[in-house]
Structures are given as structure tokens and as C-alpha cells.
Chain A
Amino acid sequence: MARKGRAGPALGIAAFGSFIGGTLSVIGLMFLAPPLVEVALKFGPPEIFALMIFGLTMIVYLGSGSILKSLLMGTAGLFLSTVGMDPVTGITRFTGGNNTLLDGVGLIPVAMGMFGVAEVLENLEQTVPRLVVSSKIRGLLPNAKDWYDSRWAIVRGTLVGFGLGILPGGSTALPTFISYGLEKRCSKHPEKFGTGVIEGVAGPETANNAATGAAMIPLLSMGIPANVAMAVLLGAFILHGIQPGPLLMGKHPELFWGTVASMYIGNIFLLILNLPLIGLWVQILRIPYLLLFPLILVFTFIGTYSLNSNSTEILIMVLFGVIGYVMRKLRYDGAPFLLALILGPLLETAFRQSLIIGSPAIFFQRPISAGLLGLAFLLLVVGPLLQWRKKSLALP
């Protein structure tokens, strides 16, 4: 959308979508907490595994090219995610004795390489363009048509984010990617995704904020953190002498309502802080690329180094920058690769745990995991079938 000069509305709808998703999920938190937690508890390792598989089949809808290429990228990402220590036995895999790789190939160096450095490399092969955006930057806020187009995306994003955020062991990556996939699936013009379709921004942004609100539910109603951020919050409660648990809402109602109130206020501030600054961020696009790209490179280098003060990670980033560049030339999409890299460890841990608990049949004996796996299978099969059918019907 930035390329079409519509960076402003993109940022605007992201801010508004986030606000709506966040606020609605807090409302959901207020009224729906107890029954939802019961549902969330039904998600044990086999269900989490099935959910991850379902999330990964969203790859089918993430790639802008052929489904086969997306699946290839996803598989490559899964392989890369096995580098490092095995989650169950602790045996090191594919590290070649290098200590940096003990924790796996870092997500940030790879992401910054594939999407930051690679983009710069790709732009530099042409005669350096003067500006990223050659057309005039029109409008700073989403207009009426944008709102109209995004309305269902925001609703779906809220539901997806809220539903998935409450489940144990998730990250906000899953609802975000699933929302994008869902929007593409529900759209009347899926082939336009990637060229500046506002639903592709509205849905995921709403989803990730809705997920954040939903993640508070298991914490406040049962004392169980749904992800790392919640675990830190749990720690904060404990440090203040409050033990979160099922009795929290009864014993410390002021804590529960205080948290809810702070989330409402936080969402409002999100809007207040984001909207006025859109005009400012958009001006960055006016900087001549000649100055912009070295800045981009410097920021990626410093950013990666700032994580662990490890120069090997910079090498990793540059390596993936080159890989990303090659991928782009060959028209392979990086998003499925990254999603697989994020979900890989979660997937493997859930799989190994499930196999300790039962036999491989366990995934099909339990209703939720069987259902999710069936859905994933359908997605994998139906998508290509429809494509093939369209092609064969188009033949004279």
C-alpha cells in the first residue's frame, strides 16, 4: 500500500483495527472468562500440535506464488528450526560445535536478513531509484471506502485473535498469520493480496491485539500464563505478594478490574499516540533512497548486534539477506519460511510430548486435534484442487 502512496491509510487502519480488536477482546475478557478457560484447558499437547499444523497450512494462502513453492519454503523453515538443542533430550543438532547456534538460528537475524537486507539488495540492482514512492502520498487516514472494505476483516480478525490468543502455548504470530490467510481466503480478489489490499492489513492487526487481550484470560481467571509475556506478568503479581490462581478474582477483585481498566486506557492511548504520528512516519518515504538504504543497513546491523552482542548473528543476518535476495529473484516467498521457523520448535515439542503420552494414533483419537488436522488436510487438498479445476475449466 505504501507503494501506491497509501501508507497513511495503511498505518491508520492498523491503528484503528488494533484499537477495536484490543477493546473488544477486553470486553470479551470481562464477560466470557470462565467458560473460555475451560475450553482452553482442553488443549493439551496433541491439540497444540494439530493447531500448529493448521497454522502451517495457512502457508498455502500466504505465498503469492504457487502453492508448491510455499510448501517448499515452509518445509525449509521447519528444517532450519531443528538447529540447536533438542527440546526433550538436549542433544545438539546441526550446530557444528558453534555456541551461537545452540539456541537455534535466531529469528531476528533471519527476519531482518530476509526482509530487510534482501529488500535493499534487490532495490540496488536497478539504477538506484530516487524515492521509494514515486507517486504522491495521498491522504493520511483511511477514507470511507477503506472502512467499508475492512469491516469484515476487522470482525474476523477480532474473532480469530480472541479465539486463538486464549489457547496455551501460542504466540501472537499464529493469530496474525491465520488472519491474513483467512482474509485471502474470504476475499473476492485473492490474487491482489500483496499489492496493497487493505483487508490484509486490517485483519492481522486486529487479530494480534485481540489475541493479547485474550491471553490475559487464563492468567486472571486461573493463574495460568498463556505465553511468555503473561508469565512475566504472573511474576510481577507474585513479587507483589499476590498469588494468581482460580481465587484471584474473588480475593483481589480490585486487581482484576484494575487490569481491565488499564487495558481499556492502554488501547485508547494506542490510538492517541499512533494517529498523529502517521504524518511523520510517512515522510520517511520521501527520503532519497540513496540516503535511506545505508540507514536501513546500519539499523539492521546495530539491531541484530544489540540482541546478544554476538557478531556471528550479524553474519547469519547477512547470509540470510543474500538467501532472501536469491529467493526473491527466483520468486519464492519468505513469509512461509519465517512462520515455519517460528512455529517449528513449538510444533516439535508438542509432537514429542504427545508421543510420550500416547501412541501416534492419539492425534486422531481426540476430537479437537482430529478436527483441526482434518481441517488442515482439507485446506491442503481443496486449495490446489480448486486451482486445477479453474485451469481445466478455462481450457477451450
Chain B
Amino acid sequence: MRTSSVGGWGIALVLSLVAVILPRTSTGQGAYPERPISMVVGHSPGGNADLGLRLLAEAASKTLGQPVVVENKPGGNSFLEFVTVMNAKPDGYTIGDHSTMKYDLSVMYEKTPRKVEDSSVIGMYWAVVHGVAVQGESPFKTFKDMVEYARANPGKVTFAVPNAGAPPQLAMEWVGKKEKINWKAVPFKGLAPAVPALLGGHVTSIAGLAGAHLEQVKAGKMRLLAITGATRLPDFPNVPTLRELGYDIDAQWDIGLVAPKGLPQPVLQKLRDAFAAAARDPKFVKFVKDNNMPLATMDGEQYSKYLKQSFEVRAPLIRELGLAFKE
């Protein structure tokens, strides 16, 4: 019986080694892509960002001839996905979602913020506009009402944010500093858990995605007080932007794609072309329009420039707000 158990261990060892080693012996760079591409999405499934990216993935799969498979990694408020992609092999089989927010987070979480040059930017595909909303029964009819209440009651007004450090949080913190009021951000993992928190009255307001709240607003359960983007939204003609209210800030959340640094140029070009085409796919366009989001495409080079410019503006802002990385 002793020898049988050793034999058993032997079989187990060999089989498990085989199972681990086998997937590694893939062929070299034949015609890219040769196998499915993994798109790491730093957002919870079912959210706006995730849905749009899935549509892009589906459309790009057709052009590339290999499936683009979405993998959700919502950890660290979408920062985990960024780190995962940056550390992956630059072989074109791992890409991930990208936005100026990743660099904001880098300033907040890391000692040395990452630079745009340390990645291969694929492109930008759409933007999400945020809005500040309160419950339908809330006494605040305008944004100013809430500001005044916060001034009179420091520490009592809270706003839910779908990701810690997300653009709407920066906008609200900026307003808070300007108005010298003390209101607090409550982070949630995505928009989905934040909405019940608002509807149940556990937080005063939500700095969430304006387009996603349309149904709730129509039903009278939520009231949109302000848009954090640069222009008013067609579905909410009466809601002012923060700029119109006198605050010199707008926070739009751009969504694009990125790959690790050092991606071979032909592979990068193929990805750029495939996703540029995907952004014209009718399903994707309809989704973006239906959800009140501006369709904004930039190719890789333009997007790199845009990211660099944003970084110049946002990094000092984050430091000024006291949110930057502290030892």
C-alpha cells in the first residue's frame, strides 16, 4: 500500500506539472492575433463603463478575427486593472480600459505617479458625464440649497461616489474647498450599491453618472441638481452645469483603452484600427446615445496628448485638495 501511494503522488505531480506548463508553450508572433485577447475592465460588471467596453470588445472581435474577452477586475477603484495591464507582457494579448482617472489615482496611491509615456495608448472612445443628484423628497431644490445647508451644518452632508478618487469626487471636493464647506465623500464599489444608499436616505446626495439616473428622475425618485460636465445634457435641459453655477471646474470621465509599454508598432496599429472601427459600430453608438453620454473618439496620438495635458492640470489639483499620496 505504501508503494501505491507514492505512485499516486507521482501521477498527480506529473499531471499537475503538465497542466501548468502546457498553456505556456504557445507559438511566437505569427499573424497577430492568434488567440483570444483579454480586455481587463476595472469596473464592476453591469455598470455603464463595463457595458460600453463589452460592446466595443464584441465589435472589435469581428475585425480582429479573435474574441476579445472582458475580464472584470474592479479592485482598488479601478486602479488594480491599471497595474495589472501595465505589468502584463507587451504582446498585445492584454489590454485594459484607460482614462485620466487612472493617473489621478496614481497620484493618490503611488509615491511616484506614473507617466503617460509608460504605456501604449490605444485610443479614447466615449465620455461619461456625471451629475449630482439628491432624493426626490429632498428639501434641496437647487445646488445652492445644498451648499448653504452644508455651510450651516458642517460634516453632515455626504455624497456617494461610484469610485474613490473618481472625477465627480474631485469636482465636489473642489467646490467644497472653494465654498469653504465641509462635506464628505462616501466611496462605493461602483454605481450599483450607491443608488440604494441614496434612495434609502443613507447619504445626502450622489455624485454619479447623470445618464444612468434618467429613469429614476422621471419617476420622481431622484432630482438632478447639477451636471459636472462642460455642457448641459439634452435629456436634462433644466439642469445647470457647475460652470454655469460659477465653479470653474468640470470633470468628465473619458473612457479609452491602453496596452503595456513596449507594444510592437504593427500590433498597436492593428488594435487602434480595430477599436476605431468598433466605436462606429451601430450598437455601440446607440448605447452611448441612449445613455446620455457624449461620443468622443480620439486616436492613440491625440489621446496621449490629451492625457498628458489633463495630468498637468489634475495632479496639482489633487495635491491642493490634500488627496495625494502620503507616506
Spell out A's residues near B (CB within 8 Å). 40-46, 84-85, 87-91, 99, 102-104, 124, 127-128, 168-169, 218, 222-225, 228, 230-235, 238-239, 241, 243-248, 290, 293-294, 297-298, 301-302, 305, 309, 311, 314, 349, 353, 356-357
- CB-based nearest B residue for A42: B200
CA distance A235 to B196 in the complex (A): 17
CA distance A314 to B18 in the complex (A): 13
Interface stretch among B60-68, B69-77, B172-180, B257-265?
Answer: B69-77
Question: Are A103 and B219 within 8 A (Cβ)?
Answer: no
The count of A-to-B residue pairs whose CB atoms sit within 8 angstroms is 163
Q: Which B residues touch A311, using CB under 8 A?
A: 20
How far is the CB of B26 from the nearest CB of chain A, in Å? 11
Question: Are B20 and A305 within 8 A (Cβ)?
Answer: yes
A42-B200, A290-B4, A353-B186 given as contacts; is B79 within 8 A of A90 (CB)? Answer: yes
Determine whether B193 belongs to the interface, using a CB cutoff of 8 Å to chain A. Answer: yes
How far is the CB of B207 from the nearest CB of chain A, in Å? 14
CA distance A168 to B20 in the complex (A): 39
Determine whether B269 belongs to the interface, using a CB cutoff of 8 Å to chain A. Answer: no
Question: Are A103 and B87 within 8 A (Cβ)?
Answer: no
A239-B287, A356-B186 given as contacts; is B46 within 8 A of A225 (CB)? Answer: yes
Determine whether B313 belongs to the interface, using a CB cutoff of 8 Å to chain A. Answer: no
Q: Which B residues touch A99, using CB under 8 A?
A: 83-84, 87
Question: Are A90 and B109 within 8 A (Cβ)?
Answer: yes
Question: Are B19 and A305 within 8 A (Cβ)?
Answer: yes
List of 9 A-B pairs having minimum Cβ-Cβ separation, nearest first: A44-B202, A245-B215, A231-B46, A85-B76, A41-B200, A235-B46, A294-B12, A246-B219, A301-B16
CA distance A182 to B231 in the complex (A): 55
Question: Are A44 and B197 within 8 A (Cβ)?
Answer: yes
How far is the CB of A28 from the nearest CB of chain B, in Å? 19
Q: Which A residues touch B33, using CB under 8 A?
A: none
**Residue of B4, B45, B76, B216 touching A235 (CB-CB under 8 A):** B45
Determine whether B23 belongs to the interface, using a CB cutoff of 8 Å to chain A. Answer: yes
CA distance A127 to B54 in the complex (A): 52
Known: A88-B187, A235-B50, A238-B287. 4 other contacts (CB 8 A): A88-B164, A230-B46, A248-B215, A293-B8
Contact string, B167-200, partner A, CB cutoff 8 A, digits 1/0? 0000000000000000011111110110111011
How far is the CB of A291 from the nearest CB of chain B, in Å? 8
Question: Are A90 and B186 within 8 A (Cβ)?
Answer: no
User: Which B residues from 74 to 109 make CB contacts under 8 A with A?
Assistant: 75-77, 79-80, 83-84, 87, 105, 108-109
How far is the CB of A323 from the nearest CB of chain B, in Å? 19
Spell out B's residues near A (CB within 8 Å). 1-2, 4-5, 8-9, 11-12, 15-16, 19-20, 23, 44-47, 50-51, 54-55, 73, 75-77, 79-80, 83-84, 87, 105, 108-109, 158, 164-165, 184-190, 192-193, 195-197, 199-203, 214-216, 218-219, 221, 283, 286-287, 290-291
Q: Which B residues touch A90, using CB under 8 A?
A: 76-77, 79, 105, 108-109, 164-165
Question: Are A247 and B215 within 8 A (Cβ)?
Answer: yes
A-B contact pairs, 9 of them (CB 8 A): A85-B79, A102-B75, A104-B75, A234-B192, A235-B45, A235-B46, A238-B291, A248-B215, A301-B20
Q: Which B residues touch A218, using CB under 8 A?
A: 196
**Residue of A43, A102, A290, A298 touching B76 (CB-CB under 8 A):** A102
- CB-based nearest A residue for B72: A228
A168-B193, A305-B19 given as contacts; is B221 within 8 A of A246 (CB)? Answer: yes
A87-B187, A290-B4 given as contacts; is B218 within 8 A of A247 (CB)? Answer: yes
**Residue of B196, B200, B216, B286 touching A245 (CB-CB under 8 A):** B216
Q: Which A residues touch B15, using CB under 8 A?
A: 294, 297-298, 301
CA distance A104 to B203 in the complex (A): 28
CA distance A353 to B1 in the complex (A): 57
**Residue of B11, B44, B77, B184 touching A294 (CB-CB under 8 A):** B11
Q: Which B residues touch A246, using CB under 8 A?
A: 215-216, 219, 221
Q: Which A residues touch B109, using CB under 8 A?
A: 89-91
- CB-based nearest A residue for B77: A90
How far is the CB of B96 from the nearest CB of chain A, in Å? 14
A41-B196, A243-B214 given as contacts; is B75 within 8 A of A85 (CB)? Answer: yes
CA distance A16 to B236 in the complex (A): 50
CA distance A169 to B291 in the complex (A): 25
Q: Which A residues touch B215, using CB under 8 A?
A: 223, 243-248
Q: Which B residues touch A238, using CB under 8 A?
A: 51, 287, 291
Question: Are B158 and A357 within 8 A (Cβ)?
Answer: yes
CA distance A128 to B214 in the complex (A): 64
Question: Are B46 and A356 within 8 A (Cβ)?
Answer: no
Question: Are A301 and B4 within 8 A (Cβ)?
Answer: no
Q: Which B residues touch A87, using CB under 8 A?
A: 164, 187, 189
Q: Which B residues touch A239, using CB under 8 A?
A: 51, 55, 283, 287
Q: Which B residues touch A290, using CB under 8 A?
A: 4-5, 8
CA distance A301 to B17 in the complex (A): 9
CA distance A246 to B215 in the complex (A): 8
Q: Which B residues touch A46, using CB under 8 A?
A: 202
CA distance A224 to B195 in the complex (A): 7
Q: Which B residues touch A89, using CB under 8 A?
A: 108-109, 164
A90-B109, A228-B46 given as contacts; is B218 within 8 A of A103 (CB)? Answer: no
**Residue of B5, B76, B184, B192 touching A224 (CB-CB under 8 A):** B192
- CB-based nearest A residue for B164: A88
CA distance A103 to B108 in the complex (A): 18
